[in-house]
Amino acid sequence: ISEYRVRTLIPLGRLLFVRLEMEKWKLLEMEDSWFCSYVKVTSRGETQTFPCYRWLVGNDKVEIRDGT
């Protein structure tokens, strides 16, 4: 289980979608993969949840819409 926190200097407001990108490391010969269950964004006390429930592999990009 991994959790990554990203902070911003300005409030983001209500988001329409979140874009996740995974970059393949050229130095690694093996495929790297990551399973993302969801992304949570909290701004000014309001939390949005973006359900993903998929594997990201190689140079995958995915855009997920708000699920709350």
Rounded Cα distance, 49 and 47, in Å: 7
The total number of structural domains in the chain stands at 1
pLDDT of residue 32: 75
Average pLDDT rounded to a whole number, residues 32-51: 90
Q: For residue 32, what are its two tokens?
A: 């790297």
Range of the domain at 46: 34-68
Evaluate whether residue 38 is within a structural domain: yes
Evaluate whether residue 43 is within a structural domain: yes
pLDDT of residue 27: 64
Q: What's the sign of the alpha-carbon dihedral 61, 46, 4, 51?
A: negative
Average pLDDT rounded to a whole number, residues 33-44: 90
Average pLDDT rounded to a whole number, residues 28-52: 86
Evaluate whether residue 9 is within a structural domain: no
pLDDT of residue 50: 96
Evaluate whether residue 29 is within a structural domain: no
Q: What share of the chain has pLDDT > 90, as a percent?
A: 43
pLDDT tier at 31 (50, 70, 90 boundaries)? low
- Measured CA to CA in angstroms, residue 43 lies from 3, 20, 26, 47, 61 at distances of 17, 19, 35, 7, 24
Evaluate whether residue 60 is within a structural domain: yes
Evaluate whether residue 68 is within a structural domain: yes
